Amino acid sequence: MEDEQLHALMRAVLRADRILIVTGAGLSADSGLPTYRGLGGLYNGLTAEGLPIETALSGPMLRRDPALCWKYLAELGRACLGAEPNAAHRAIAELQRRKPGCWVLTQNIDGFHRRAGSPPERLIEIHGTLEPLFCQSCGQVDAGLDVHVQRPLPPRCAQCGGVLRPPVVLFEEMLPETALETLYGELREGFELGISIGTTASFPYIAEPLLLIQRAGGLIAEINPGTTALSERVDIKMKGRALDIMSQLLGHSLSE
C-alpha cells in the first residue's frame, strides 16, 4: 500500500505545474529540532514557571515580562542555530528549482527552507522567522541572534536600550498581512497539487488552503508519521518521515 501511495504521489508531482507544499515542525524534527506537539513534542506540559508555552511565548508576555518570554525564544534560537536543514528541506528546494510553479507555505520559524535554497519569492513564512532582531522602540535592526542568546535576557537595543524582538508571530499576535495576501493570491491562481509535510494542520489557515485545492479539483497528499486533522480527507497518505519520503520522491519522480 505504501508503494502504491508513493507512486501515486510521484505521478501527481510529475503531472502538476502548480504545487503548494505546506510544512510544519515535523519537517525539521530530523534536523534535531523539537516539535511543539505530537510525537516528541517539547511543550506538551507546562513551563518551569507553571505556564502553558502558549502563554510564555505570547505577545502580551513579551510586553509584560520580556525576560520570561525571551527565556523560551532564546531556547528556540539556540536550537535553530545549532542545527542544519536536512535532506527533506533540500529536496523541497530542488523541487522548486525544477518546477517554477512550486510554492512553500511554512509554519516553521527556523529559516531552514531559505538555507536549503528555497527561493524567497516562492516561500511564505506565515509565522515569521527568528532573525533579524529589531528594536520594538526605535525600529533599529540588529541581526545578531547568535550573540544575544548568549547574553543576559532580554536583549537590548544598542541605540536606545529598547527590548529587541524577532520578526516572528508570537501567540495572540496577528498573522502578517503580506504573507496572507500572497498566499490567497496564489490560491486564486490555482494549484493542481497540495502536499502537507510534518504538520498537524490544526490551524484553519494551514488546513484550509489544502482543502481549497481539493475542492477546486486538485489532489492533496500528506506526509506525516502520525494521524492529523487532515489524514482522513487527503487523497494520498504517506505515513513516515519527511526526510525518507521526500528523498525517495525526488530521487524517482523527477528522473522519470
Q: Which residues are catalytic?
A: 127
φ, ψ for residue 218, nearest 5 deg: -85, 170
* Cβ neighbour number for residue 212 with a 10 Å cutoff: 18
The cell for 59 is 505577545
Q: What is the DSSP string of 206-226?
A: HHHHHHHHHHTT-EEEEE-SS
The C-alpha atoms of residue 196 and residue 107 are separated, in whole angstroms, by 11
Separation in Å, CA 51 to CA 33, 44, 46, 69, 256: 21, 11, 5, 11, 52
The C-alpha atoms of residue 23 and residue 87 are separated, in whole angstroms, by 14
Cis peptide before 154 (omega within 30 of 0): yes
